[in-house]
């Protein structure tokens, strides 16, 4: 039986920037540790991670979770790196997921 080729994946960790006023809501682990864990999990299910990054957010966008500039830039990466999947290490609403899938084609 021929071996299935690994799918190319991009892993994104959207990190909400915590202001000094909200310092009690600071995450317990660093953004880089969260991203490394997500990449490791993706590789653990035989995905070929071609790119990963942390996207800093000042607030969550209702339509796409991340800002329009990040959506556009990641869309360029999806096309340029021939990515099949984009893994967002966050809880997306069904609407956010649909919107991102339509823009990215992944």
Low-confidence stretches of the chain (pLDDT beneath 50): 1
Predicted pLDDT at 26 = 54
**What is the predicted pLDDT for the residue at 5?**
81
For the chain, the DSSP string reads -PPPPPPEEEEEEEEEPPPGGGGGG--SS-HHHHHHHHHHHHHHTT-EEEEEEEEEESS-BTTTBS-HHHHHHHHHHHHHTT-SEEEESS---HHHHHHHHHHH--
Q: Which two tokens stand for residue 86?
A: 């984009």
C-alpha triplet 91, 47, 57: angle, nearest 5°: 35
Q: What is the pLDDT of residue 33?
A: 94
Residue 29: the pLDDT is 76
Question: Would you say 88 and 100 are in contact if contact means Cβ atoms under 8 Å apart?
Answer: yes
Residue 10 in contact with residue 50, Cβ under 8 Å?
A: yes
Cα distances (Å, whole numbers) of residue 92 to 7, 12, 21: 22, 12, 26
């Amino acid at each position: 039986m021929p071996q299935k080729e690994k799918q190319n994946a991009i892993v994104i960790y959207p990190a909400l920037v915590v202001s000094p006023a909200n310092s009690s809501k600071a995450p317990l682990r660093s953004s880089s540790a969260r991203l490394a864990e997500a990449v490791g999990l993706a590789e653990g299910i035989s995905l070929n991670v071609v790119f990963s990054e942390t996207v800093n957010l000042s607030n969550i966008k209702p339509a796409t979770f991340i800002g329009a500039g990040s959506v556009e830039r990641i869309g360029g990466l999806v096309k340029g790196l021939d990515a099949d999947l984009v893994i967002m290490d966050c809880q997306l609403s069904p609407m956010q997921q649909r919107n991102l899938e339509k823009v990215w084609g992944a």
